[in-house]
Structure 1
């Protein structure tokens, strides 16, 4: 049988899907939501953001069922973790264009997924990209890896990699696009992610740490304050003198008037953000967990640039500053009384563009307005009180701070 006469072996592919569901039952909803599309022009197997999975009949014919199961889990992981949207956002923030950069995003997304994807019933496919393949530390996100490697000798054997637009946001000729049949709507895609996240949180012992982290973030309700913070970040980034730098990646338009001379264009980088987290005894563990999830959201708002976000844990004294890492690896120290003025003082020494305070509000506030934009996230309270002072009424946040409730 020649390549031109091979048709997709759906029975083999469905057997692979059943194997994948048996090995990863918490991903069953997502695996069955994928719509399989026979695509002779697809290199191997790839997905678009509408949850269509394009499969090469020849690839299925020459790949064992066990390996196909692992690849199905891999592809659906791209969609659950919304790598298409994250890649587009990263490209926009960092001014990246071209197929080479999209390949790099696909590689970084694969490294995030494959870090803990295999074993326990799933074999590792041939050529799977791991963090160790790139000489990088495991347990990080796609955005982290993108800042740590470039295309070169370590990636020369990965040029074939193509998981579709669902992995890197760049449309392929063999994809059906938004007007094609059998795609999931935005609401349906959100519903699938919600059900999978619920399944993981319900049985946390069955899922690796990366999936547990993803599920907690997926189930964390969208807070209005994130929109407020995003507006503050955009305003800070557009202020005169903030994040200004010159680049030759995109020549200035004035170059057209000067033949033979290439002028750099002015670009703006994301702003620096300092986050002060209230770790006093009046703040619960659940609220501290919520604070760490909000810190992860702030990181995404600045394009995954961990070097631009610094976190301070603060009760009556400002503790060690943490350049942002993965939220689950951050230690918050405290438990005493509250005085965020010390946290503000220490945070402002780094001259951030935006300062974010996450607190229950039971604290004295700085008397002077900081030189940067300030956002205060207040943990919601039905009633503010103290054991030693039943009549205690906390001071309201100052008028110069943008305030919104969290939780």
Structure 2
């Protein structure tokens, strides 16, 4: 009698693999047990959606050793913990990346972020797992960094099978049960899982790889409502008329067929350049300077993670050196005297190439430029109570409001914008 060509899912083997993953990566236990497995014969291997369902191919489980399955469990849950579906969707909207090839490239970039340090110490590397090295990329970077550093090109046939699901690249699959399907986690439940995993990692950081420690440190900062407002203000300024656009022959204009024999360039949006001017005067506290560095990281994400397009200018009464952003914690915030951010505007606008957006993080105790700068401006104001507002010379001084041509976001209190 022939064996059943369509065997059911071997759940005992699948759960044994998950238990092995928990043993070797105990800090991921909450997340691994939060994943709900769903049998699916349309999935090539294992894949996840944004609602923490894990779609599993019975044939893949049958042919894969338990140790390899454990590694796949860890890999798939990593996509969800690191919000690769949300990050990919934001990049797709900003860059117009809608095709299946674009989404495959996002999946590969997300895999590189996970796989550069996830294996070893009891967790085997499954066959075919994508890593940065063979693609000519350096380890230790984020998905956004990898995405802009490589093209699939001749690797397409070799990697076309790879599909970690909508939980990795944000594009819905035919097998997805969607937000109304059974066994999905709510937004609050997903956030709770991430917080518990981050708390476990921060409690014993020496036992976890560098990539996970970096993730946990960022997640552990409580969500700040003004941060979303600041990011939205930067994105809105960057996408305004004339911001971040240039002509390119990489894709011909749609009107080219109307001019036979002539290839017309199309107007393409490029990632915006952002200059961040940070008020380092004596009226700004150390806590506020620390918050400013967190805002710099949020600003980098708001423009697609392109840290090479963000510069930081510390400024009190005089502007300092414009620092390219490698990592926010490496930017020296030197100052402590009086305040005149007009010097910071001048320094930022002298940088080459000129920024598309200037972001100013300040307590507002400063003179402002007389005229509108030749680019969009966003001002992040550190929140102050009426009794806590002061200047270096007059404790009762009430500063002038930022000019009308600037978009203003209040940082550190109930959100307020204009």
Distance in 2, matches of 1:172 and 1:398, equals: 47
Q: Which runs of 5+ in 2 are unaligned?
A: 413-418
Alpha-carbon distance change, 313 to 19 in structure 1, aligned in 2, over 3 angstroms: farther
**Aligned with residue 355 of structure 1, among 358, 361, 380:** 358
Report the more deviating stretch, 313-322 or 61-70.
313-322
Change (3 A) 1:341 1:248: closer
Q: CA deviation at 1:79?
A: 1.0
Task: Check 1:186–1:391 CA distance in 2 against 1; reply closer, same or farther (3 A cut).
Answer: closer
| Counterpart-to-counterpart distance in 1, 2:259 and 2:389 | 65
Which residue, out of 383, 399, 402, partners 2:403? 399
Q: CA RMSD in A?
A: 3.0
8 Å CA contact 2:389–2:398 kept in 1: the answer is: yes
Taking the aligned partners of 2:146 and 2:137, their CA distance within structure 1 comes to 8
Secondary structure class of the residue paired with 1:46: strand
Local SS of the residue matching 1:245: strand
1:258, distance to aligned residue in structure 2 (A) = 6.3
Tell me, in whole angstroms, the C-alpha distance in 2 between the residues paired with 1:120 and 1:5. 35
Q: TM-score, normalised by structure 2?
A: 0.85
Alignment check: 8 A CA contact 2:307 2:325 kept: yes
Counting only pairs closer than 5 Å after superposition, residues 305-384 of structure 1 correspond to structure 2 as 305-328=306-329, 330-339=330-339, 340-350=341-351, 351-382=354-385, 383-384=388-389
Q: 1:334 is paired with a residue of what secondary structure? A: coil
What residue in structure 2 maps to residue 243 of structure 1?
244
- Taking a change above 3 Å as real, the CA distance of residues 212 and 259 of structure 1, as seen in their structure-2 partners, is same
SS at match of 2:278: strand
Distance in 1, Cα, partners of 2:248 & 2:130: 31
State which drifts further: 30-39 or 299-308: 299-308
Aligned equivalent of 1:210: 211
Alpha-carbon distance in structure 2 between the residues aligned to 1:389 and 1:103: 58
CA distance in 1, matches of 2:366, 2:314: 14
Distance in structure 2 (CA, Å) of the matches to 1:356 and 1:30:
37
Corresponding residue SS for 2:409: strand
Counterpart CA distance in 1 for 2:139 and 2:283 is 35
Q: CA deviation at 1:356?
A: 0.8
Aligned to 2:97: 96
Deviates further, 306-315 or 390-399: 390-399
Distance in 2, matches of 1:160 and 1:227, equals 39
* TM-score, structure 1 normalization: 0.87
Alpha-carbon displacement from aligned partner over 1:90-133 (angstroms, at most 9, x marks no partner): 22222223222211111100001112212333222222222212
Match of 2:294 in 1: 293
Residue 225 (structure 2) aligned to one of 223, 247, 252 = 223
| 1:302 partnered with 2:303 | yes
Name 1:17's counterpart in structure 2. 18
CA contact (8 A) 2:278 2:361 kept: yes
Aligned pair in 2 of structure 1 residues 41, 224: CA closer, same or farther (>3 Å)? Answer: same
Q: What do the CA deviations read for 1:326-349 (whole angstroms, capped 9, x no partner)?
A: 435x33241532433332221121
Asked if residue 193 in structure 1 is aligned to residue 198 in structure 2, the reply is no
In 2: Cα distance, 1:252 partner to 1:372 partner: 27
Q: Deviation string for 1:175-203 (max 9, x for gaps)?
A: 33334322223333233223333333344
Would the alpha carbon gap of residues 115 and 270 (structure 1) be closer, same or farther in structure 2, given more than 3 Å must change?
same
